[in-house]
A and B are shown apart, each in its own frame.
Chain A
Amino acid sequence: MQAGSLLARHLGCRRGDRWLFNGVDIALASGEALHLAAPNGAGKSSLMRILAGLLPASTLDGPLPQIEWTGAVGLLDERHGLDMGQPLGEALAFWARLDGPVPQDALAALGLTPLLDVPVRYLSTGQKKRAALARLIGQNAPNWLLDEPLNGLDVDACALVEDIIYEHCAAGGTCIIASHQPLSLPDLRRMDLAEYAL
């Protein structure tokens, strides 16, 4: 995996007539992780989608928004990106054709190996989350955007996600985690989006 980095400046977000935040600057070097915290409705998910390039960034006044990534970007949000009607194995195999396969040990660590024959729509919320994580790992992107990655996961799986994030950053990746829950990761930076609210 190549090293990742992010330089984002002057990001603002408007939903309808309402400004959620403005003037957000984020700089992440290879190996760094950022915990994005904010109360509900502050625009965490919107910021993640802006950073992913799925929503346009706006700015209230001043310089134009700017987002520069080094390397590909992977996104994990409440939409798992897997075909509901397919067995999990086939749904992951589709992404493997695009991105490359998910390593077997990652599948085993996430507890997905016995579920490969089960259609995705029968998986529980937590199992779908873990399946989406497997997809993200298979993508092999150096930059991760994780929107509420711990939602629906049990205590063991939460610890596992923290390990996965740690290893990803140790390999030179970057990671932004939007989460209500506390994360125990070394050198985790923290940003409160509420400070940028309008």
Chain B
Amino acid sequence: MSRALWAILRRDVLLLLRGGASGGGTMLPILFFLAVAVIFPFAVGPDPKLLARVGGGVIWVAALLAAILPLDRLVEPDREAGLFDQWALRGIAEEWVIAIRMTAHWLSFAPALMLAALPAAGLLGLDGRLTGLIELGLLAGTPGLAAVGVMVAAMTAGLKGGAALAGLLVIPLCVPILIFGAGALAIGGESGLALTAAASLVLLALTPFAGAAALRAGR
């Protein structure tokens, strides 16, 4: 059983990193994230004080948008190809499958995103302390973003226009993470980070069950 779970995790990570049949992979969301950080100063002007004040929030919004990009290939291609059916036939619980997908999704975008946040923070002229807080916040918040992404992708799999709908559904669900994560920058304290992590943990605990129920209902 655990051998099968490892095999599925390995496959999921490789597939999400490379992008599968529809292309994309990890590079696309990361480049998108950096592009947002690059164009933002063009839009609001190069005032260093202004950028230092709003830059952290911009990075958080960009991270959220980047996490939405791969939603349509998180669950739907495998549902369409019948992989979820085949795993169910082998007695692998849908909860496990969703938990693995969540882990793989996090592994495929979060470390790269945190790495890309360093040049993004540089482009926005943020200082070292703020950059550190952003990195810690992303570490606490990205698991929650991954969980919401997989949950919503499972719920909208098989629906017409599911991808657009998924994007709309993810944003309100990510609001707590965004408020606490970006809020931690303003107050400069650990309490915001702790609440970000708490919101992430709730979503991590909920998603395997919600996602599995969605998969079963969609058969």
Q: Interface on A for B, CB 8 Å cutoff? A: 49, 52-55, 72-75, 77, 79-86, 94-95, 97-99, 119, 121, 135, 139
Contact = CB atoms under 8 A, between A and B. Distances in A.
B21 A83 contact: yes
B43 interface: no
20 contacts: A52-B85, A72-B90, A73-B89, A75-B89, A79-B80, A80-B81, A81-B81, A81-B85, A82-B81, A83-B83, A84-B81, A85-B15, A86-B15, A94-B7, A94-B11, A97-B3, A97-B7, A98-B4, A98-B7, A98-B8
B89 A74 contact: yes
B122 interface: no
Contacts of A75: 85-86, 89
B113 to A, nearest CB: 23
A162 B11 CA distance: 33
B87 to A, nearest CB: 8
A53 B88 contact: yes
Interface residues of B, number: 22
B41 interface: no
Given A55-B219, A94-B7, A81 B22 contact: no
User: Chain B: interface secondary structure?
Assistant: helix
Given A52-B85, A81-B83, 11 more contacts: A54-B88, A77-B85, A83-B83, A84-B20, A84-B21, A85-B15, A85-B21, A97-B4, A98-B90, A119-B21, A139-B90
Contacts, number: 63
A135 B86 CA distance: 10
Nearest to A141: B89
A79 B82 contact: yes
B43 to A, nearest CB: 36
Contacts of B7: 94, 97-98
A165 to B, nearest CB: 18
A65 B193 CA distance: 51
A156 B80 CA distance: 28
Contact of A54 (B83, B85, B90): B85
B125 interface: no
Contacts of A94: 7, 11
B82 to A, nearest CB: 3
B82 A49 contact: no
B157 to A, nearest CB: 13
B70 to A, nearest CB: 14
Contact of A83 (B15, B88, B89): B15
A82 B18 CA distance: 16
Contacts of B83: 81, 83
Scoring B19, B88, B89 by chain A CB atoms within 10 A of each residue's CB, the highest score goes to: B89
Interface in B11-47: 11, 15, 18-22
Interface string B66-93: 0000000000010011110110111000
B89 A53 contact: yes
B19 A81 contact: no
Nearest to B90: A98
